[in-house]
């Protein structure tokens, strides 16, 4: 659920300002809204320092773990930065040397000082790059010796007793010979390796760098709140939001410290942060919401529980394989063992466990284990399959693939209609004291009339397992829904909705159809699994051929699992955040409640 918020205005004297903020930070209860834009020299310095220590942290985190050195945290950051500068200079030097080597390699290994001496003695020597095509002729009195050539250029040494110029690219003499450049390159590379070893030496102090970063971030946050406060004469004040169940904590702290305060209800034009506080069984969905970075706004519905339930169902349909589900369960159990004691990893692992169990259940009902044909499964597993979902025909005693496909699509459309209906029922209850609820009642009627229209158009009347709604009743229900929506729009003076009503009804029809993606992606996954199984069977499982077959199975099913994971992100999450949320009026336009507090205690 979304925790109810209230507004706070806290007042104190300018002399109390620092002490007040420190005590407010200890309360960890107020999401501060700046009265003015935080700025100032001290704040700018703090932000620069934060960037400074964050860079040191990033450098250490990029290295494998090592033993801690016990170095002082602040000395550690300075030492790492010295290594950063040293590494940068060495890499720039190496890049310059390699460029110089590439430039003069075609001219061979020579000592440029000898050429300088010849030039001083009146014998002019120059290096040139001459084009292979249309090679220019050397001036009279100039001797040209070819040293090497490439596809397009000839590298030459030109010599004369008088100053001369050849109409081609003259190559500047290097500062040192090729052999010395190569020696210097090796020394520079060795120095870079030694610097990397120094970095690795301090990789065990990552936790210290993290502490320093948190400390610096706390300093920035404190100064932002301080500089963001408003002031009137000798009084300073801050604004913010707090959970209503922490009101007593604020009042007690204010009375104890002599602060003035004003507590207000949230107004219509306020945009408070969102604090989600759900039952433990719903908490796994937080991993998904954090991953995709969405939060319902304070005045929207909290759909976390429904998101979890339907995402688990969608996961089962989109993966559709009990074998994969069992594999996911095994990996999740392994992950929970490795992440024991790490609270931040548990929501994601718990979510994976829930979805994997749903996947196993669906796979068992449809008789899908790694794409193995149902008739080839052991008898106990065949007995667990659903006759409806596998298209079992009692008359023939066989399973019909088309019947199975129609039945699974039927379930998908039922899920879609129910999913959308829940959104409008929820809104109907919320708006029950307003004529706005008539619109949701109208959408419920239109959803179920369009549901039968979808069945007729996609599956066909003869293939649907439930009685179809007669056409005259269907269009009467649809028309009644449209009338109720129209009445609601008129009474609410939402006249623009009247203009788009026809389009909205079409969108409702399309939204129901879009749930067929659950069947389509699952069927594609099954087809891929079957194709790789057949490829492996064609190679055979005898002798060395079994290694090739095993490789095909591993590669094929591994690729299939990756594609399935992409399907969850593209389709499973979309059906919750777009189709359902669009009908529920959830725009995910909120932002997280982030109380003023310290990141860590050092």
Torsions phi, psi for 450 (to 5 deg): -70, -30
Residues 319 and 243 in one domain: no
pLDDT at residue 8 in the model: 95
The three state secondary structure string of 476-503 is HHHHHHHHHHHHHHHHCCCCHHHHCHHH
Average pLDDT, the chain: 92
pLDDT at residue 497 greater than cutoff 90: no
Residues 128 and 50 in one domain: no
Asked if residue 331 is part of any domain, the answer here is yes
Question: CA 112, CA 175: separation in Å to the nearest integer?
Answer: 7
Token representation of residue 27: 């309360």
pLDDT tens digits for 393-435? 877 778 888 999 999 999 999 999 999 999 999 999 999 999 9
Asked if residue 591 is part of any domain, the answer here is no
Question: CA 510, CA 506: separation in Å to the nearest integer?
Answer: 6
pLDDT at residue 69 in the model: 83
pLDDT at residue 426 in the model: 93
Asked if residue 186 is part of any domain, the answer here is no
> Average pLDDT for residues 558-581, to the nearest whole number?
90
SS3 category, 6 = strand
Residues 330 and 408 in one domain: yes
pLDDT tens digits for 222-251? 999 999 999 888 899 999 999 999 999 999
Question: CA 177, CA 168: separation in Å to the nearest integer?
Answer: 23
Question: CA 122, CA 161: separation in Å to the nearest integer?
Answer: 6
Q: What letter does residue 374 receive in the DSSP assignment?
A: G
What confidence category does residue 600 fall into, taking pLDDT thresholds of 50, 70 and 90? low
What confidence category does residue 511 fall into, taking pLDDT thresholds of 50, 70 and 90? very high
Strand 5-13 versus strand 31-33 pairing type: unpaired
What confidence category does residue 602 fall into, taking pLDDT thresholds of 50, 70 and 90? very low
pLDDT tens digits for 179-206? 999 999 999 999 999 999 999 988 888 8
Q: What letter does residue 175 receive in the DSSP assignment?
A: S
Asked if residue 194 is part of any domain, the answer here is no
**Cβ neighbours for 167, distance < 8 A, ≥ 6 positions apart:** 136
Domain residues for the domain of 143 are 110-176
pLDDT tens digits for 255-285? 999 999 999 999 989 999 999 998 889 989 9
> Average pLDDT for residues 443-469, to the nearest whole number?
92
Residues 328 and 466 in one domain: yes
Asked if residue 287 is part of any domain, the answer here is no
Closest among 309, 307, 293, 306 to 588, alpha carbons compared: 293
CA atoms within 13 A on the CB side of 434: 15
Helix (H) and strand (E) counts in the chain: 22, 11
Question: CA 7, CA 240: separation in Å to the nearest integer?
Answer: 6
Tokens 């009627």, residue located: 445
SS3 category, 423 = helix
The structural domain count of the chain equals: 3
Question: CA 130, CA 581: separation in Å to the nearest integer?
Answer: 69
> Average pLDDT for residues 436-460, to the nearest whole number?
94
Residues 148 and 49 in one domain: no
pLDDT tens digits for 217-228? 999 999 999 999
Residues 61 and 114 in one domain: no
SS3 category, 11 = strand
Residues 223 and 371 in one domain: no
Residues 136 and 62 in one domain: no
Asked if residue 103 is part of any domain, the answer here is no
Residues 311 and 459 in one domain: yes
Residues 306 and 454 in one domain: yes
Domain boundary among 137, 155, 176: 176
Residues 229 and 168 in one domain: no
pLDDT tens digits for 121-180? 989 999 999 999 889 988 999 999 999 999 999 999 999 999 999 999 999 999 999 999
pLDDT at residue 334 greater than cutoff 60: yes
pLDDT at residue 342 in the model: 82
Is the entire prediction scored with pTM above 0.75? yes
Question: CA 366, CA 373: separation in Å to the nearest integer?
Answer: 11
Token representation of residue 579: 């189709």
Domain boundary among 176, 192, 220: 176
Residues 11 and 139 in one domain: no
Torsions phi, psi for 434 (to 5 deg): -135, 155
């Amino acid at each position: 659920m979304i925790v109810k918020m209230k507004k706070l205005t806290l007042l104190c004297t300018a002399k109390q300002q620092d002490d007040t903020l420190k005590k407010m930070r200890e309360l960890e209860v107020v999401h501060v809204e700046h009265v003015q834009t935080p700025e100032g020299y001290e704040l700018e310095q703090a932000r620069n320092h934060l960037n400074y220590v964050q860079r040191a942290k990033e450098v250490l985190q990029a290295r494998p773990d090592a033993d801690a050195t016990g170095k002082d945290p602040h000395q550690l950051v300075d030492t790492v930065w010295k290594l950063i500068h040293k590494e940068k200079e060495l890499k720039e030097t190496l890049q310059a040397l390699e460029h110089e080597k590439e430039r003069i390699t075609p001219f061979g290994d020579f000592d440029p000082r000898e050429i300088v001496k010849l030039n001083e003695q009146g014998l002019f020597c120059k290096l040139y790059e001459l084009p292979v095509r249309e090679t220019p002729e050397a001036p009279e009195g100039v001797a040209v010796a070819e040293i090497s050539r490439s596809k397009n250029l000839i590298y030459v040494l030109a010599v004369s007793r008088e100053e001369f110029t050849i109409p081609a690219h003259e190559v500047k003499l290097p500062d040192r010979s090729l052999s010395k450049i190569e020696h210097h390159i090796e020394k520079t590379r060795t120095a870079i390796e030694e610097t990397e070893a120094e970095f690795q030496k301090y990789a065990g102090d990552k936790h210290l760098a993290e502490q320093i970063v948190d400390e610096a971030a706390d300093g920035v946050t404190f100064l932002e709140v301080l500089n963001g406060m408003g002031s009137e004469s000798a009084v300073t004040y801050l604004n913010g939001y707090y959970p209503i169940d922490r009101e007593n904590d604020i009042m007690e702290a204010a009375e104890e410290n002599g602060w003035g305060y004003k507590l207000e209800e949230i107004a219509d034009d306020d945009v408070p942060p969102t604090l989600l506080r759900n039952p433990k069984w719903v908490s796994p969905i937080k991993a998904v919401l954090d991953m995709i970075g969405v939060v319902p706004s304070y005045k929207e519905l909290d759909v976390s529980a429904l998101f979890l339930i339907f995402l688990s169902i969608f996961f089962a349909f989109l993966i559709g394989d009990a074998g994969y589900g069992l594999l996911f369960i095994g990996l999740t159990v392994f992950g929970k063992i490795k992440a024991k004691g790490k609270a931040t990893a548990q929501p994601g692992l718990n979510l994976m466990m829930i979805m994997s169990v749903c996947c196993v259940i669906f796979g068992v009902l449809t008789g899908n284990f790694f794409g193995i044909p149902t008739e080839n499964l052991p008898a106990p597993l065949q007995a667990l399959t659903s006759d409806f979902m596998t298209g079992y025909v009692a008359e023939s005693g066989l399973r019909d693939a088309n019947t199975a496909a129609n039945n699974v699509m039927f379930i998908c459309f039922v899920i879609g209609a129910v999913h959308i209906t829940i959104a409008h029922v929820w809104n109907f209850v919320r708006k029950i004291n307003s004529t706005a609820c008539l619109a949701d009642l109208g959408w419920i009627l239109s959803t179920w009339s369009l549901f039968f229209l979808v069945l007729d158009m996609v599956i066909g009347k003869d293939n649907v397992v439930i009685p179809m709604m007669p056409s005259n009743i269907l269009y009467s229900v649809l028309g009644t829904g449209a009338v109720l929506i129209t009445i609601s729009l008129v009474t609410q003076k939402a006249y623009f909705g009247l203009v788009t009503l026809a389009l909205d009804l079409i969108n409702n029809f399309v939204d129901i159809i879009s749930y067929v993606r659950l069947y389509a992606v699952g069927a594609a996954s099954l087809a891929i699994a079957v194709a790789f199984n057949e490829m492996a069977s064609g190679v055979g499982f005898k002798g060395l051929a079994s290694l090739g077959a095993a490789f095909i199975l591993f590669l094929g099913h591994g690729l299939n699992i990756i594609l399935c994971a992409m399907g969850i992100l593209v389709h499973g999450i979309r059906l919750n955040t777009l189709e359902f949320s669009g009908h529920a009026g959830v725009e995910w336009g909120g932002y997280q409640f982030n109380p003023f507090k310290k990141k860590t205690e050092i």
